[in-house]
Amino acid sequence: MKKIWAWGALLFGILYFTLPLVGMTNFSLKMRRGEYSFDAYAKVFGDPRFQETFTYSVTQALFTIVFGVLLVVPTAYWIRLKLPGLRPYVEFVTLLPLVIPAIVIVFGYIRLYNTSSWLPLTGSAFGTNILLMFGYATLALPYMYRAVDTGLRTIDVATLTEAAQSLGAGWATILARIILPNVLVAVLSGAFLTFAIVIGEFTMAALLNRPAFGPYMQLLGANRAYEPAALAVIAFGITWGCLGLIQLVSRFQKSAPPKA
């Protein structure tokens, strides 16, 4: 009786989650009339706009990751070490991007950093790229911070720091040589998740008018029939890849021998 109910719930889940995936895959292969083909994929990959926007988004993602790591790791470390009383507040702030819609945040950017403001970031393509990168870092902040903070929880930050200081290490050395390697898996998890978020992000890129992958997909979807399905399959593959990598690195950590 209980088992039937459990299998029922699982079956519903499997059906609900597989059908759209089957649907998009099926659709993406049907460009040629009457037979399955990879024409839609060939079209997508051959499109120079695809290559440009995809490269742009990958670049943005990489910069976002680097910036995010540089911002979050020292901060999370410092708060654990010196300002533990501040942790609940910082945690609250890092969760805000889950609550304030991205569209509201980017609207604020547009009004705050327009050409006539004190910091006219949207005045140039370069400035806008930077602004978009900051926006992505904001969106990824909840995930990045949580991942790193969880990673730091598993190591004794204070003891490691004191040990390193007693051996004469400075702050930069401690962070780069002691703390970062110890939370590397957490940082990588946050990084892959950031990548998955940035690569398909639409709202911020569209409203800041940057040639990113998300707006490209939307544009294609409005004008074409089969290529969007192919894009969806590709995007799903990328997401799956990122999450798969997270699993991989965390498994690697589990199987690694405990440090003495």
Partner 1 sequence: MSSAHISARSPARRLPLHWLGILPFAAFVALFLILPTVKIVVGAFQTPDGSFTLDNIRGLFTPSILAAYWISIKISIASALLGCLAGFAISAAVVFGGLPKGIRGPLLTFSGVASNFAGVPLAFAFLATLGPVGIVSVFLRSELGIDLRVLGFNILSFWGLTVTYLFFQIPLMILIITPALDGLKREWREAASILGATGFQYWRMVAFPILLPSILGTLALLFANAFGAVATAIALTGSSLSIVPILLFAQIRGDVLGNPHLGYALAFGMIVVTGVANAIYIWLRARSERWLK
Site for partner 1, residues 196 to 225, rule: CB under 8 A: 196-197, 200-203, 206-207, 214, 217-218, 221-222
Q: What whole-number distance in Å separates Cα of residue 39 and Cα of residue 55?
A: 22
Cβ pair 214, 202 in contact under 8 A: yes
The structure tokens 């950590």 sit at 253
Residue 182 or 216: which CB sits closer to partner 1? 216
Q: How many beta carbons lie within 10 A of that of residue 80, not counting itself? A: 20
Residue 86 or 163: which CB sits closer to partner 1? 86
From the CB of 44, what's the least distance to partner 1, in Å?
A: 12
Residue 187 or 246: which CB sits closer to partner 1? 246
Kindly indicate which of the ranges 51-59, 150-158, 160-168, 238-246 contains the residues binding partner 1, using the contact rule CB under 8 A: 238-246
Angle (nearest 5°) at CA 238 between 128 and 46: 75
Q: At residue 128, what is the residue type?
A: T
Q: Which of 63, 155, 236, 253 binds partner 1 (CB under 8 A)?
A: 236
The structure tokens 């401690």 sit at 174
Q: Which of 62, 110, 155, 245 binds partner 1 (CB under 8 A)?
A: 110
Q: Which of residues 118-157 bind partner 1 (CB under 8 A)?
A: 134-135, 137-138, 141
* DSSP helix/strand/coil, 33: coil
From the CB of 99, what's the least distance to partner 1, in Å?
A: 5
Q: Which of 65, 97, 152, 187 binds partner 1 (CB under 8 A)?
A: 97
Q: Which of residues 161-190 bind partner 1 (CB under 8 A)?
A: none
Instruction: Tell me how far the alpha carbon of residue 40 is from its chain's centroid.
Output: 27
Nearest Cα to 236, choosing from 9, 14, 28?
A: 28
Q: Which of 36, 101, 176, 181 binds partner 1 (CB under 8 A)?
A: 101
Q: Which run of H or of E encompasses 255?
A: helix 227-255
Q: Which of residues 21-80 bind partner 1 (CB under 8 A)?
A: 21-24, 26-28, 71-72, 74-75, 78-79
Residue 27 or 184: which CB sits closer to partner 1? 27
From the CB of 238, what's the least distance to partner 1, in Å?
A: 9
Burial grade of 30 (CB within 10 A; 0-12, 13-18, 19 or more): middle
